[in-house]
Structure 1
Amino acid sequence: MNAPSSYDPAPIYDSIDIDMAVKVLSQTAFSPFFTCFIPIFYVFQGYEFSDPVVLVPSIYCAVVSAFWLLKWISLLYRNQGSLFFKPDPLDWSEQIVVVTGGASGVGELLANTLAVRNVTVVVLDIKPIVTENYNIAYYQCDVSKWEEVEAVSKKIIDEIGQPTMLVNNAGVVQGKLIIDLKPEDVYQTFGVNTLAHFWTLKAFLPGMIKNKTGHIVTMSSVMGFAGSVQMADYSASKAALMTMNESLRYELDKVYDAPGIRTTIVCPGHILTPLFSTIQLPTNPFFKFLAPSIAPVTVVKSIITALDAQQSRTIYLPFYTNFSPVLKMIPSYLRDICQKFSGADHSMRDFKKVTARRTDEGELPHANGKH
């Protein structure tokens, strides 16, 4: 299967999916501002408030308004926000952002985008980032190994300063059946996808706690909510990040008295990056509409928005991933229908590992990673 032409412009009709529909509906049918005009319109036409044509839209508007109000209050509570005052704007020029796995994919785009904002960016990766931005510093580091993270973190703090933001983005996927996984595969998956988060937190979090400010971004996955064929190690490694992020939040709030350190977790679906470039997803229009793949720029925008807002967030992308936490609560036959519709048990059948290949795995048959 050829790597998706995800990096090429798509026809306009390919961009029409449920995410676009939800965005439009959120500004119209599910907007308190928009829906409040419906009963007002009928009142101006001479109808009484007790008339169904006025009463029903009024109740609907109240329900919609209550939903957004409760969501807003929850966000304020989580981030110690004020009902009347916004936090001071974030001074990007004073930020030092560490991005793991910043040499490719989402990490590379995030690093370069932040650098354009005059942010000091530190990239940790086993290979160097290709960039023309002078304010990106690269440190070679295998983040799955504590000894390397510890040594590099000391150099970063000494040479650049105490990081104010940490984006744990590095990831790897093996795409093998459980009994076909080598010990080296499992060690690498959990080392990069899970343990690296603990190592970078051990290295950089103490400085943030001392300053009572900072932001930790954890890159998880929708696969952390669901298991599928040839994804056991990957799904398990991403599931671990869910509870790690929760525990981190409560430790910051209850133990270190540092609620000002924000924690954002990102749970994306399929991102159009080399990591999953050889996956085979269903091609039928219905699947593409309900479960579209997302471009790296979409993920980067969401991360930067959370950083800029100085808010702890849970980011689900695209829209269907919002329902992934309930998969374990629905009847088994419905769960199997979802599994079949997604093609999850067949999508990795011809998968070839393109990124983070170890020396014992050899080179790909084709240099460009296509087959």
Structure 2
Amino acid sequence: MEHERSADGSPIFDSLDVDLFVKVLAHTLFGPFFVFFVPIFYIFQGAKVTDPLVLSLWYTNGSLFFGPGRLDWGEQIVLITGGSSGVGELLANTLAVRNVNVVVLDINPIVTENYNITYYKCDVSNWEEVEAVSKKVVEEIGDPTVLINNAGVVQGKLIIDLEPQDVKQTFSVNTLAHFWTLKAFLPAMLKNKSGHIISLASVMGYSGAVQMSDYSASKAAAISLHESLRYEIDIRVPDRAWYKFFFPTIQPITVVKRIIAALDDQHSQQISIPFYTNFVPFLPHLPSFMRDFAQWVANANYSMERFTKVSGLRPDEGAFKRD
């Protein structure tokens, strides 16, 4: 029996997975409009307005009425690292179609017909190159208002087979490059009190796997870096139907759509797709005020306030002096 096919010629049920059901529910039953009124029912049952549950529900869904307006794409300069291929290329071209000024940093040029994409050759793992190119970008295009750290590399080797240059390349591109672009472009965002930063990571940053030790470690570092940044500035998939349903493969266009939607909303958030990735890290899914409270209780945001570096001093830092 022949499968029904969609307009693009692919079987309709090929795109049927748990993420589709979650998406529908997120825009209907669990959408902000309906969930915002849930605390009212608790109040009618005797709960107080000051109860933690009521406050958390209103806090996490209040963006429907109190959040910022939609992002004005016409005023944005979006800089994408690794924007000449994969998700980066698709994202660059998609934004360009929306008349957004896009800057691509990559070691290879991007193939595009969009006039508003400007390419700069740059090895983002090298601070000197990032520093030099950033000055050209600011002078010729302007200060980026959206920074998307997308560049990434994977070796796919066992730990004992990884060469030193493999490990250095993985961390230089997947982690250190984030530091270099932030160092180059974040100061202007802070000065202008406006901007957005997106760090593309991976669920493998939460859980290691065979032949991905360097990649997982580098992505875990990138995730932690982005978490710190937020507080500083406020084996092959089995060919089985059930496995594809619960653990679907995410296409680049899905990632691009979610990134653009997040920028449109202008809210700090963590995008976790496909749906099962939401169950890997638990803490990020608590209400943000509870996460902030945990940070406060642990004194995490102020633990380094009076810190003085003692070990690992470089010659350019001078010797440690005791008071």
So what's the TM-score if we normalise by structure 1? 0.66
Greater alpha carbon shift after TM alignment, 201-210 vs 17-26: 17-26
**1:178 alignment partner in structure 2:** 159
2:266 — aligned with what? 310
Distance 1:24 1:69, change over 3 A: farther
Structure 1 residue runs without a partner (length 5+): 1-7, 36-54, 60-65, 254-278, 328-371
Q: For the residues of structure 1 that align with 2:31 and 2:101, how far apart are their CA atoms?
A: 39
* Other-structure match for 1:247: 228
Determine which of 248, 251, 257 is the counterpart of 1:292: 248
The superposition leaves residues 173-199 of structure 1 with CA deviations (integer Å, 9 ceiling, x where unpaired) of: 000011100011001100110000000
Q: In the superposition, relative to structure 1, how do residues 180 and 114 fare at CA in structure 2: closer, same or farther (>3 Å)?
A: same
- How far is the alpha carbon of 1:89 from its aligned partner? 3.3
CA 1:243–1:115: 2 relative to 1, 3 Å? same
Structure showing greater relative contact order (alpha-carbon pairs closer than 8 Å, 6 or more residues apart): 1
What letter matches 2:85 in structure 1?
S
SS in 1 for 2:147: strand
Contact kept? 1:95, 1:163, Cα under 8 Å: yes
Q: 1:309 Cα shift?
A: 1.3
Q: Is contact 1:27-1:34 (8 Å) kept? A: no
Equivalence for 2:138: 157
Q: CA deviation at 1:280?
A: 2.4
C-alpha distance in 2, partners of 1:164/1:129? 21
| 2:208 matched residue in structure 1 | 227
User: In structure 2, how many angstroms separate the alpha carbons of the residues matched to 1:171 and 1:233?
Assistant: 12
Aligned to 1:19: 19
Q: Secondary structure at the match of 2:176?
A: helix
Paired AA for residue 20 in structure 2: M
* Post-superposition offset of 1:21: 2.3
The 5 Å alignment of 1:1-371 reads 10-26=10-26, 70=56, 73-74=59-60, 84-253=65-234, 280-326=236-282
Offset at residue 93 of structure 1 (A): 1.4
Whole-angstrom CA distance in 2 between matches of 1:175 and 1:71? 43
Structure 2: distance between partners of 1:33 and 1:118? 31
Task: Measure the CA separation in 1 of the matches of 2:57 and 2:257.
Answer: 21
Alpha-carbon displacement from aligned partner over 1:124-164 (angstroms, at most 9, x marks no partner): 00100000000000000010110110100011001111110
Match of 1:276 in 2: none
SS at 2:272 equivalent:
strand
8 Å Cα contact 1:224-1:235 kept in structure 2:
yes
**Structure 2 counterpart of 1:280, which letter?**
R
The letter of the residue matching 1:89 is: R
Q: Distance in 1 between matches of 2:18 and 2:120?
A: 40
Q: 1:251 to 1:31 in 2, by over 3 A?
A: closer
Q: Distance in 2 between matches of 1:285 and 1:84?
A: 41
User: CA offsets per residue over residues 308-355 of structure 1, 9 Å max, x none?
Assistant: 11111100001111011159xxxxxxxxxxxxxxxxxxxxxxxxxxxx
User: Following the alignment from structure 2 to structure 1, what is the Cα–Cα distance between the partners of residues 123 and 54?
Assistant: 43
Q: In the aligned structure 1, how far is the partner of 2:109 from the partner of 2:231?
A: 35
Q: How far apart, CA to CA, are the structure 1 residues paired with 2:68 and 2:173?
A: 35
CA deviations on 1:7-62 (whole Å, 9 max, x unpaired) are x9631111111112223444666579889xxxxxxxxxxxxxxxxxxx9xx99xxx
Change (3 A) 1:68 1:31: farther
Q: Deviations over 1:97-137 (max 9, x none)?
A: 10001001110011011111111100000100000000000
Alpha carbons of structure 1 residues 32 and 215: separation in structure 2 relative to 1, 3 Å? closer
**Structure 2 partner of 1:355:** none
Paired letter, 1:316: S
What residue identity is the alignment partner of 2:21? A
Does the CA contact (< 8 Å) of 2:170 and 2:215 recur in 1? yes
- Indicate how the Cα distance of structure 1 residues 67 and 97 shifts in structure 2: closer, same or farther if over 3 A, else same: farther
Q: Distance in 2 between matches of 1:286 and 1:123?
A: 39
Segment of structure 1 superposing worse, 12-21 or 166-175: 12-21
Q: CA deviation at 1:216?
A: 0.2
CA distance 1:71–1:169, change in 2 (3 Å)? farther
Q: TM-score of the superposition, structure 2-length normalised?
A: 0.75
